[in-house]
Amino acid sequence: YYLDLLKFLNIDYKNNRLDLFIPDDIKDWSERFLKERGVNNNDTLVAMVPGGGASWGKDASIKQWPADKFASVASKLSEESKVKILVMGDLKDQESCSRVVNRSKNSTIDCCGKTDIMQFSALLARTKLVIANDGGPLHLAVASGVKTVSIFGPVDDRVYGPYPRSQNHKVIKTTLPCQPCYQKFKLLPCDNNRQCLREVREEEVFQAAKELLSQ
């Protein structure tokens, strides 16, 4: 939308790529952080962000895929793809992050609440893939040039999804007649107990992640 405003000024743009610049000292910090937790340069890292949606305040959880489903995908990925999982979020996400860490069959690296936003971004940039809900961390990952699998429910991914669109970014969603219920900056009452998110299958997210990791 913002780029389209340029058309009214007769300004042509050719590059719509997002870029996120991380200072060298923050990159160095991220390497130390990972090394202290047993990560070496040969490890393939996947970040999972089970929280998010802070801008929605008390309604943030409405945008979140169940943490148990994140844990299931984390277990399968670490078993079958031999990756190391970073579970990430801020202090408000500790409950959902803890559920993922505690319910994953294999060891995960708990990064929740341990970073500021630049450190968070540096860790995302160090991964090969980010699996996240609709929210800010998804867009940080895209701007960092990292492949993503994102889960959308009440929000229209055509408006708020990864930008620019790319084969490196897969959106997983259901197609219920009530979607999207976030319209004109307002969330409509949900009579389906977040069915749009509950019906997103772990296997679908896993297969999307596996495909991106294999590229």
What pLDDT digit, counting tens, does each position of 108-156 carry? Answer: 999 999 999 999 999 999 999 999 999 999 999 999 999 999 999 888 8
Q: At 117, is the secondary structure helix, strand, or coil?
A: helix
Cα separation, 22 vs 148, whole angstroms: 19
Cis amide bond preceding 50, omega within 30: no
Whole-structure pTM value: 0.91
Per-residue model confidence (pLDDT) at position 179: 82
Q: What are phi and psi of 150, to 5 degrees?
A: -120, 145
Using pLDDT thresholds of 50, 70 and 90, give the confidence band for residue 11: confident
Question: Could you tell me which of 62, 107, 63, 116 has the C-alpha nearest to residue 87?
Answer: 107
| DSSP string across 149-179 | EEE-SSS-HHHHS-SS--TTEEEE----TT-
Per-residue model confidence (pLDDT) at position 17: 81
pLDDT tens digits, residue range 15-57? 778 889 999 999 999 999 999 999 999 999 999 999 976 666 6
Q: What is the mean pLDDT of residues 173-196?
A: 79
Q: At 201, is the secondary structure helix, strand, or coil?
A: coil
Q: Could you tell me how far CA 134 lies from the centroid of its own chain?
A: 7
User: From residue 164, how far is each of 14, 131, 150, 158 by CA, in Å?
Assistant: 12, 17, 14, 11
Using pLDDT thresholds of 50, 70 and 90, give the confidence band for residue 194: confident
Q: What is the DSSP letter of 192?
A: S
Using pLDDT thresholds of 50, 70 and 90, give the confidence band for residue 62: confident
- pLDDT higher than 70, residue 60: no
52 near 64, Cβ under 8 Å? yes
- pLDDT higher than 70, residue 177: yes
Per-residue model confidence (pLDDT) at position 207: 98
- The domain 38-214: what is its CATH number? 3.40.50.2000
Tokens of 143: 């701007």
121 near 86, Cβ under 8 Å? no
Using pLDDT thresholds of 50, 70 and 90, give the confidence band for residue 175: confident
